[in-house]
Amino acid sequence: MERLDKLLTSTGRWSRREVRQLVKEGRVLVDGIPATGPEQKLDPALSRVLVDGEEPDIREFTYVMLHKPPGILSATEDSRQKTVLDLLPPELRRRGLFPVGRLDKDSEGLLLLTNDGALAHRLLSPKRHVDKVYYIRTDRPMGLEDAAAFAAGITLADGTACLPARLELLGDGREALVTLHEGKFHQIKRMTASRKAAVCQLKRLSMGTLVLDETLRPGEFRLLTREEVSKIGGKP
Ligand code: URA
């Protein structure tokens, strides 16, 4: 059971004060009966809420797929720099979304934003080994020896041991796909540096079952479909 005002504000369309006013004016119906107050409790799966005769989208959680462009911080707020939240409209920004895992400022590609903390925790848990696939471009062609080193598990310059990862060479080896099962700070850049090469471009293509929608241009976003939400283990 959830409070009516919590459910309605979670849509991002109204503030708590506005919900109070809507209820007072009798514009909110719960199962056909005017709501008694903003604190009224209901089960959103069982009860039907109408505001001015329309059914608002009161899903418990919001899941957004963003095609992060380079140059933007994967954070919720920053006093000086633009963050991924700044790319969303106010209606979505009000929902308390945060990025699930980070991409470096100069990295791009798939970023999931949600307010489902339990799902974020599951997706990021090292024990779950959720695969993440990245496209990279490097300053020199990578070769089979590099792929073997990635597969064996790279030890970074500071002694940190990485889990085995997959390096799939493309073309002349200056491009590749990397699959990681974990997410350490600057991991791919540092793994590549340990092979005496540098990453020039890094783009995340997928995270578990969630694949970047290539119709989204950098900076664009969309809500996940219900199918995508249930496949990654969220609440559709
Ligand atoms: N590895 C990196 O080095 N940077 C990213 O943004 C993601 C993975």
The atom number, within ligand 1, closest to the CA of 189 reads: 3
Q: Whose CA is nearest to atom 4 of ligand 1?
A: 186
Pocket of ligand 1 (CB under 6 A): 103-104, 107, 186-189, 202
Under the banding of pLDDT at 50, 70 and 90, the label for residue 60 is confident
What is the C-alpha to C-alpha distance for residues 155 and 141, in angstroms, rounded to an integer?
21
**Residue 104 annotated in active site:** yes
Tokens at 78, concatenated: 């920053």
Q: What is the pLDDT averaged over residues 71-89?
A: 95
What is the C-alpha to C-alpha distance for residues 208 and 228, in angstroms, rounded to an integer?
11
Q: Whose CA is nearest to atom 2 of ligand 1?
A: 186
Q: Whose CA is nearest to atom 3 of ligand 1?
A: 186
pLDDT by residue (tens digit) across 205-229? 999 999 999 999 999 999 999 899 9
Please check the confidence at residue 85 and state whether its pLDDT lies above 80: yes
Question: Which of 44, 28, 48 minimizes the C-alpha distance to 36?
Answer: 28
Number of H helices, E strands in the chain: 7, 14
Distance (angstroms) between ligand 1 centre and the Cα of 92 equals 26
CA 158 to chain centroid, in Å, comes to 29
Predicted TM-score (pTM) of this structure: 0.86
DSSP output for 158-172: TSPBPPP-EEEEETT
Lowest mean pLDDT among 9-18, 82-91, 211-220: 9-18
Query: Which of the following is catalytic: 104, 131, 146, 158?
Result: 104
Which pLDDT score is estimated for 227? 94
